[in-house]
Amino acid sequence: MSQYIWPDSVNQFLHKLEIEHPIIQAPMAGGPTPPELVAAVSNTGGLGSLGAGYLTPEKLDSEIQKIKQITDKPFNVNLFVPESVEPRNPSKNVMNKLEEFSKELDSEIPELVDSSQSGFDDQLSVIVDNKVPVFSFTFGIPEEKVMKKLREEGIFIIGTATCVEEGILLEQSGCDAIVAQGSEAGGHRGSFVNGDNMPLIGALALIPQLVDNVNIPVIGSGGIMDGRGIAAALALGASAVQIGTAFLCTEEAGVPIPYKDSIVSSKDTSTVLTKSFSGKYARGIRNRFINEMSDLENEVASYPIQNSLTRSIRNAAKEKGDPEFMSLWAGQGVSMSRECTAEELLNMLIQETNEAIKRISNHL
Amino acid sequence: MSQYIWPDSVNQFLHKLEIEHPIIQAPMAGGPTPPELVAAVSNTGGLGSLGAGYLTPEKLDSEIQKIKQITDKPFNVNLFVPESVEPRNPSKNVMNKLEEFSKELDSEIPELVDSSQSGFDDQLSVIVDNKVPVFSFTFGIPEEKVMKKLREEGIFIIGTATCVEEGILLEQSGCDAIVAQGSEAGGHRGSFVNGDNMPLIGALALIPQLVDNVNIPVIGSGGIMDGRGIAAALALGASAVQIGTAFLCTEEAGVPIPYKDSIVSSKDTSTVLTKSFSGKYARGIRNRFINEMSDLENEVASYPIQNSLTRSIRNAAKEKGDPEFMSLWAGQGVSMSRECTAEELLNMLIQETNEAIKRISNHL
């Protein structure tokens, strides 16, 4: 086990979470974070996270059991807070386009069904019953009674903010820490205020503004791929970092080979924000689906209806190994990805952070 | 004069430019960077920059003379590389809307005139004749013969990149250093490749990817407002930083009071990208002009035609002290602005950088 000592500025956070390194592997829903990845990160002294937003309570329970079998270290489970906005159906053009894609992929024709977001309360019960050490969430703030229950159970609570206003609301709701999701981040935007004016603030500007406006630890995220990014986030005032994309090419990640290949051949300009896959803006590598849906983007259904509508297409693409119709979520640092084990990645991140700090402090 | 010593990683850059601190005051065209600001920054050991994109050769010459009267330190002059894209006229709706605004402000009705971009060669001659120590540019790359001439004159050349591809082209063209313009940055985007897919990469992801792909110094920019941001940029591998917005509220800046007031009352979410003012995307504080033009944004004229069309409106707004029709360029860190002199700001930035580095290195 590493004997690396972190600066005082992050020690309080490490002590509270009972982890060794201020590195949280981001909870990436939809497959990339199987128990093996979560446990490997936690076993190496970071905080592994299960992206459980799309899991049934039964599946969530079995995944948590598996994690507990591989590690006795703290880990995090992340859920999606249900939407409070009015559901919106897709346009006829969107349905026609999705049908066209389905035919090309020989997949089921998408049907508009009632996809109400039940399940959150049941998912939460599984988390409480299993005494999960850390619970994080995105897309909003759970109801007051939920937050109260989690606090009573001694669960460490982490919310997700994309602007200062969201951070202040999260602190007021009783969160123990806040992920500052920079505009560089891959996957879904966690924004829940400001409506159509979705904040897209770069981490370098977002982290210090959040740090200045809340009194709980801020976890920097967005575009952090190596120790240089970690050192930068800590310099900006973050108490820890959350890293997603950099873990996608680890051996333990549940990422199909064509998805990994897309990451390996990516450039700094490869990612784009789209709501065509799910109805909610998310950052991923540009492909045919995104390009051909781009003119219809304002006609897609709201989340999670659009997500249900595109599921069969995404699943068929996975089975065929066709990256052009998968959601290849990735952040703007994607070209800096490395293929290795989760333990190797964490150890590199720790060493590189040390080196980056040494490089800029050699005059002190 | 400060006796502050910087890390080895920036010393080579400081030595080449013969400056004391790796802090470049950004060249903000259109008024904010009068000779008094440029000289104050250079006199304090940073690199002051004249934003000369809109200046006539005569005005440019007199501004340079004034700078030289106040400082004998190196300074930078920045120009706009002329566009290579086909000019596009505005729609009738755009013209009608601008006419409506003009009437409201009692300003001249905008007229579509031939606004070809002559002047660049004459501006360059002034720079060469005056042996300006540092020349920076944005919106593209000057012709080969121009770059050759500048190099022969011993002028230090800085280009502007918003993605790795642009950085590589700039290095190949003979630049001595590259500004990495993060998506957080205020004012005009410097992008010149990728056409409609304008890169908007956060500084935290852009800086290390540029550093990894070019062999000349990278200057971090975008959202840097205090020493935390400077330390972060250096940790990411930057050899220096370029800071614009933070200088807008200095006493020496040529910024109208209503503009300063908008900055002082801003939030992290106050800025937005718009091409309604100039035909080219730029980041500024949201106001009535931006909001009311937003539906017409894709119908505005190309740069610099749109810029000419809105000039009388912007000038009338300045005269009336009405921030709702000014271009309030600012970056995403705008809420961290401070009112002081340029010298005070620079000294704070230097001290804070030192503190931020100390804070994260106290374990070494």
Q: Give per-residue pLDDT as tens, A122-139.
A: 999 999 999 999 999 999
Q: In sequence order, what are the residues at sequence separation of 6 or more whose Cβ sits closer than 8 angstroms to the Cβ of residue A272? A: A283, A284, A285, A286, A290, B197
In a domain, residue A163? The reply is yes
Q: Are A348 and A340 in contact (CB under 8 A)?
A: yes
Q: What is the mean pLDDT of chain B?
A: 96
Are A171 and A289 in the same domain?
Answer: no
Are B63 and B149 in the same domain?
Answer: yes
Query: Between these two residues, B362 and A281, which has the higher pLDDT value?
Result: A281
Are A170 and A298 in the same domain?
Answer: no
Does the pLDDT of residue B22 top 70, yes or no?
yes
Among residues 297-356 of chain B, which lie with CB inside 8 Å of chain A? 331-333, 335-336, 354, 356
Name every chain A residue with its beta carbon within 8 A of the beta carbon of B183. 183, 200, 202
Between CA B329 and CA B343 the distance in angstroms is 22
Does the pLDDT of residue B3 top 90, yes or no?
no
Between CA A319 and CA A300 the distance in angstroms is 24
User: Domain with B16 in it: what CATH number?
Assistant: 3.20.20.70
Is-cis flag, bond preceding B258, omega within 30?
Answer: no
Are B169 and B209 in the same domain?
Answer: yes
Please report which confidence band the pLDDT of residue B85 belongs to, taking 50, 70 and 90 as the band edges: confident
Q: In sequence order, what are the residues at sequence separation of 6 or more whose Cβ sits closer than 8 angstroms to the Cβ of residue A337? A: A225, A245, A246, A248, A249, A263, A264, A266
pLDDT for residue B145:
96
Low-confidence ranges of chain A (pLDDT < 50): 1
In a domain, residue A78? The reply is yes
In a domain, residue A262? The reply is no
Secondary structure class of B200 (helix, strand, coil): coil
Among candidates B164, B202, B364 on the partner chain, residue whose Cβ is nearest the Cβ of A361: B364
Residue A15 touches partner B, C-beta closer than 8 Å:
no
Are A23 and A57 in the same domain?
Answer: yes
Average pLDDT (B302-319) is: 96
pLDDT for residue A1:
45
Are A74 and A218 in the same domain?
Answer: yes
The torsion angles phi and psi of A76, rounded to 5 degrees, stand at -120, 145
CA distances from B364 to A8, A96, A364, B231, B309 (A): 11, 61, 11, 16, 57
Q: Write out the E strands in chain A.
A: 23-25, 48-51, 75-80, 134-138, 156-161, 177-181, 187-188, 218-221, 240-243, 271-274, 282-285
Between CA A214 and CA A211 the distance in angstroms is 6
Among residues 156-185 of chain B, which lie with CB inside 8 Å of chain A? 163-165, 182-184
Q: Residue B189 belongs to what domain range?
A: 8-82+118-255+336-361
Average pLDDT (B66-82) is: 98
Residue B209 touches partner A, C-beta closer than 8 Å:
yes
Average pLDDT (B8-32) is: 96
In a domain, residue A3? The reply is no
Does the pLDDT of residue B300 top 60, yes or no?
yes
- Of B187, B177, B150, nearest to B26 (Cα)? B187
pLDDT for residue B364:
84
pLDDT for residue B194:
75
Give the position of tokens 């977002």: A206
Are A200 and A211 in the same domain?
Answer: yes
Are B93 and B74 in the same domain?
Answer: no
Q: The tokens of A280 are what?
A: 């909610």
Secondary structure class of B189 (helix, strand, coil): coil
Kindly report each contact of residues A170-175 with a partner whose C-beta sits within 8 Å and lies 24 or more positions away, as own/partner. A170/A141, A170/A214, A171/A214, A171/A215, A171/A216, A173/A141, A173/A142, A173/A144, A173/A147, A174/A147, A174/A148, A175/A216
Write out the H or E segment, with its range, that includes residue B122.
helix B120-129
Are A26 and A98 in the same domain?
Answer: no
User: Does the distance separating the beta carbons of A194 and B360 come in below 8 Å?
Assistant: no
User: Does the distance separating the beta carbons of A364 and B354 come in below 8 Å?
Assistant: yes
Structure confidence by residue, pLDDT tens digits, B124-151: 999 999 999 999 999 999 999 999 999 9
Are B96 and B132 in the same domain?
Answer: no
Are A40 and A151 in the same domain?
Answer: yes
Does the pLDDT of residue B165 top 80, yes or no?
yes
Please report which confidence band the pLDDT of residue B291 belongs to, taking 50, 70 and 90 as the band edges: very high
φ/ψ region of A338 (left if φ > 0, alpha if ψ in -120 to 50, else beta) reads: beta
Q: The tokens of B88 are what?
A: 């596009």
Between CA B57 and CA A21 the distance in angstroms is 57
* Structural domain count of chain B: 2
Does the pLDDT of residue B2 top 90, yes or no?
no
Average pLDDT (B18-29) is: 98
